[in-house]
Amino acid sequence: MIISFFEEYPTKENLEKIKEIKFQTKLYIAASSIDEFNKIKSQIKNKKVKEIIYWPILKIEEGYWLSPFSKRSALQRIMNETKNVSLLWDAELPRKRSLLITQLPYFFKNKRLINDFFKNYKGTIYTAEYFPEKGIFGRLLEYLGLSFSPNKYGNYQGKMVYSSVHDFNEKFIKAQMQCGVQKYDNKFIIGLGVLATGINENEPIMSKERLERDLKLAKESGLKEVIIFRLAGLNKGYLKVISKYAQK
């Protein structure tokens, strides 16, 4: 499998972790604009990094993540500046929860805007979406503009299976993984974590044993890529586990 990494805070210190990677990988780098992303990208020099994907984030008051509840002007800004590059669309509800109320009148208009963007975008779109994949919850996510079918939009669908945050059991995770692979083949990706906290600053950190369990399940389910949240938490213990499953 390709073992990739999210990095929400691409500081010099955090990006130094790339030097420890001896296997093929991809990086999903957060930035507030395409110009900021390109500046960060130009500083990453490692032949093992096969692709660097732009992960646009908004201001907190705009929604931070991307959804029909984000500020319309912020969505339009990201869409207008992003042309043909590989893009991570982080489809989560706004961190500022009051936007769920204030932006509700614009929900359907924003959802159409997002759907049209996906249909017309010329580059590659990866999504980061809430787990799980199948069942009524999966359909609800699609209705809310928080899930995108590769069969409809051509994107790569990433589901965040952060088992240090949610105590998903092995049987449930494997069934969801297999469902995603069956539906979308190599366009189904799993996000694992967490190795280091993100914007919420309170996520439980994953044990090496839990990481190995999830990587083993992904391998057995036929996944071609997993993305680990996040690069900054990488250490020798995690690397030893990851190296067993990574594509050299």
- What does the pLDDT look like over 58-67, one tens digit per residue? 999 999 999 9
Percent of the chain exceeding pLDDT 70 equals 99
Task: Take residue 21 and report the two structure tokens written for it.
Answer: 């990677």
Q: Check residue 168 and give its pLDDT.
A: 84
Q: CA-CA distance, 150 to 155, in Å (whole number)?
A: 5
State the pTM of this model: 0.96
Q: Is 19 exposed, middle or buried (0-12, 13-18, 19+ CB in 10 A)?
A: exposed
How confident is the model over 149-188, as pLDDT tens digits?
Answer: 999 999 999 999 999 998 888 998 998 899 999 999 999 9
Per the prediction, the chain carries an average pLDDT of 95
Does residue 134 register a pLDDT over 80? no
Q: Which long-range contacts (CB under 8 A, 24 or more apart) does 178-183 make?
A: 178/221, 178/222, 179/133, 179/134, 180/133, 181/221, 181/222, 181/223, 183/133, 183/149, 183/151
β-strands 125-130, 156-161 pairing? parallel
- Find all residues with CB under 8 Å of 72, minimum gap 6, and list them: 103, 106, 109, 110, 113
Cis status of the peptide bond prior to 68, with omega within 30 of 0: no
DSSP 243: H
Task: For each of the domains in the chain, give its residue range(s) and CATH number, in order of start.
Answer: 2-243 (3.20.20.80)
Residue recorded with tokens 């010329």: 122
For 165, other C-beta atoms within 10 Å of its C-beta total 17
